[in-house]
């Protein structure tokens, strides 16, 4: 979907949403039928629905324009857009109330009246934008509307980045060429055409490039400066892909002390008020799920016990926050002697150690329910990096730099790595999931947690788990 088509689709969607919300509100508020030319309310006031609809529609389009709701959101999160939409609609309704309708509100009915219009506007606008973004995403997956991109970096990084982007067509990035630093005239076939850095400005114009992806290491200061100089003045977006294991991603924050810029290492990942709210949500959700579903959980425990030898609840030592050990609980999904011969190993797809019921529990993520007891005890959270066994922690912290960074926060029942990647079956899988875990720690927020929880629920409902 082109930029013009995206803008037109969003504008049409929002215009229809504003009109539908206004008409729906008038019908709910005043009831009965009305003509477009106007009708008389019981109080004798003459109302012209057509003028009201046109006025409010224009108002919302202007508000959305000023709020940046029509800026390009190429391959962005639909959840994030809905959060932004909710904020803008809330502010817009408040503006209407205090500038136009404050004198007409009646005591007692005011709250219901405002909530009705707010809910209608947000609901209809959300459905419209979700439709537009879903169509846009479907087109991106088919290669239509993707941003053309150039990669700048060393040959191995170029190849790795090209392979990574190829796995995610919904990202909307199409690599059309590469600039390999330090080599001229190299015409190998990696990641499309490969060129020298001097031709970067010409390539941007010739290939109609929208994004330049810079895949350099933290030591490549001179090369990075050269890329920035060559791209200066071009209508492209520069996106730095850091050398993952040489940049302290998510562990630094710049601040000034008496005018001296310093980098604070390992700052607190969330503000104190968000940490407290996160804990309250953990406790509330854990209690509700455990109590409301108690008959189901007892039935599952009995079923696990009856369908295979061994206890219903599997207990295992895991490494939690600050490296502390705790006992994690799960419904048993494997044979009792699953690791008697092999020792500690990762589960894999079609693992023969799974029981019949256990495979079903694992697919629907129901085996994780007993971990809500760990949440109540404060050992885990609903969202966070998955806890690992001490055996693997010792092994992985030697193999993967920054692995222990995961232990800065409470482990979770689900996490960003779980909704973006599959189960660990190899060291490479763990490397990928550590990247996602560190991204989560760097961007920890309540909004991020809700996004992960919604994606987890979708996985459970669709049975897409492994």
Q: Determine the average pLDDT of the residues in 118-146.
A: 89
> How far is it, in rounded angstroms, from Cα 402 to Cα 396?
10
pLDDT for the residue numbered 194:
57
| Whether residue 382 has pLDDT greater than 80 | yes
Q: How far out from the chain centre does Cα 122 lie?
A: 21
The two tokens of residue 323 are 């490296």
Q: Report the pLDDT value the prediction gives residue 175, as an integer from 0 to 100.
A: 84
Sign (positive/negative) of CA torsion 437, 439, 441, 446?
negative
CATH architecture assignment, domain 147-247: 3-Layer(aba) Sandwich (3.40)
User: What DSSP string runs through 9-24?
Assistant: HHHHHHHHHHHHHHHH
Is residue 174 predicted with pLDDT exceeding 50?
A: yes
Contacts of 271 (CB under 8 A, 6+ apart): none
| 175 membership: H or E segment, kind and range | strand 173-180
pLDDT more than 90, % of the chain: 28
Least confident of 37-41, 239-243, 352-356, 388-392: 37-41
| Beta pairing partners, 261 | 256
SS3 68: coil
Mean pLDDT of 80-87: 90
Residue 380: what pLDDT?
Answer: 96
Residue 348 pLDDT:
64
pLDDT at 105: 55
Q: Using a pLDDT cut of 70, give the percent of the chain over it.
A: 76
- Using DSSP's 3-state secondary structure scheme, residue 424 falls into coil
Show me where the domains of the chain are located. 3-141, 147-247, 272-462
Please provide the size of the chain in residues. 466
| 198-212, 248-262, 422-436: least confident range | 248-262
For residue 206, what are its two tokens?
């010739």
């Amino acid at each position: 979907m082109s930029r013009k088509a995206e803008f037109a689709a969003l504008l049409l969607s929002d215009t229809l949403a504003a009109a539908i919300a206004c008409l729906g509100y008038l019908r709910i508020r005043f009831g009965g039928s009305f003509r477009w030319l106007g009708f008389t309310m019981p109080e004798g006031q003459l109302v012209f629905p057509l003028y009201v609809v046109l006025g409010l529609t224009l108002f919302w389009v202007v508000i959305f324009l000023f709020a940046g709701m029509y800026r390009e959101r190429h391959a962005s999160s639909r959840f994030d857009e809905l959060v932004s939409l909710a904020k803008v609609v809330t502010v817009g309704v408040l503006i209407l109330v205090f500038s136009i309708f404050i004198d007409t509100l009646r005591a007692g009915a005011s709250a219901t009246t405002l909530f009705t219009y707010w809910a209608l506007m947000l609901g209809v606008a959300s459905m419209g934008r979700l439709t537009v973004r879903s169509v846009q995403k479907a087109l991106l997956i088919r290669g239509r509307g993707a941003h053309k991109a150039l990669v700048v970096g060393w040959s191995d990084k170029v190849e790795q980045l090209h392979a990574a982007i190829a796995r995610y067509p919904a990202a909307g990035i199409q690599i059309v060429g590469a600039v390999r630093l330090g080599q001229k005239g190299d015409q190998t076939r990696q990641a499309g055409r490969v060129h020298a850095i001097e031709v970067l400005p010409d390539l941007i114009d010739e290939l109609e490039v929208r994004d330049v992806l810079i895949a350099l290491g933290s030591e490549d200061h001179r090369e990075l400066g050269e890329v920035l100089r060559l791209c200066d003045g071009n209508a492209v977006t520069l996106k730095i892909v850091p050398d993952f294991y040489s940049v302290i991603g998510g562990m630094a924050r710049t601040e000034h002390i008496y005018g001296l810029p310093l980098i604070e290492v390992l700052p607190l990942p969330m503000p104190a008020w968000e940490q407290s709210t996160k804990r309250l949500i953990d406790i509330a959700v854990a209690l509700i799920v455990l109590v409301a579903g108690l008959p189901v959980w007892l039935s599952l425990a009995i079923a696990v016990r009856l369908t295979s030898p061994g206890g219903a609840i599997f207990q295992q030592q895991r490494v939690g926050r600050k490296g502390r050990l705790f006992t994690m609980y799960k419904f048993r999904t494997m044979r009792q002697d699953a690791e008697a011969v092999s020792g500690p190993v990762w589960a894999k797809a079609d693992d023969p150690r799974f029981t019949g019921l256990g495979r079903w529990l694992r697919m629907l993520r129901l085996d994780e329910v007993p971990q809500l007891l760990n949440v109540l005890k404060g050992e885990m959270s609903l969202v966070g990096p998955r806890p690992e066994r001490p055996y693997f922690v010792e092994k992985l912290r030697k193999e993967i730099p920054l692995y222990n960074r995961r232990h800065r926060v409470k482990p979770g029942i689900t996490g960003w790595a779980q909704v973006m990647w599959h189960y660990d079956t190899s060291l490479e899988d763990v490397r990928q999931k550590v990247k996602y875990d560190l991204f989560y720690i760097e961007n920890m927020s309540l909004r991020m947690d809700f996004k992960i929880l919604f994606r987890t629920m979708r996985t459970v409902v669709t049975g897409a788990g492994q």
